[in-house]
Amino acid sequence: MKKLIFLLSFSILFQSCFSYKTVDYNTIAAEKNQKFEVLGVGGKTIKGRLVSKNKQTMILEKKGQPQKISVNEIYEVKVRKFSILKTVGVIGGMYVFTGIAALAFLSLSGFP
């Protein structure tokens, strides 16, 4: 049971450390190896690491497979950023939740 709780809290912690920030396509530096989320005109979302970009296409790589996206099909581009506030909030929330759960367990077990 302890391993399951540890695994769940660990996975929640690292998922919430990142957020996506909307950026302009023309300001993206092609030499940076960043992760992007691209929202297409048809509502299709593609996530991946930037391989290259030019005026006509953007190429993202996800799980070793390149995905070519035409600039005409791009509605919105977001870059993944580390969020310190979310990380601190999740860690603080886990401590508060653990304290409340411990107090509830002690009061239900009849501990004075």
Identify the pLDDT of residue 38: 86
**Average pLDDT, whole number, for the chain?**
77
Give me the percent of the chain exceeding a pLDDT of 90.
Answer: 1
In this prediction, residues 18-38 reach a mean pLDDT of: 77
Half-sphere exposure of 56 (CA within 13 A, CB side): 0
Identify the pLDDT of residue 22: 81
pLDDT in tens, 62-104: 888 988 888 888 888 888 776 666 666 666 777 778 878 888 8
Q: Going from the N-terminus, what domains does the chain have, and what CATH number goes with each?
A: 16-82 (2.30.30.100)
Residue 23 has pLDDT above 60, yes or no: yes
Distance of CA 76 to the CA centre of its chain: 17
Name the band, by pLDDT with cuts 50, 70 and 90, for residue 8: low
d(CA 83, CA 42): 29
Identify the pLDDT of residue 88: 67
Name the phi and psi angles at 67, rounded to 5. -125, 115
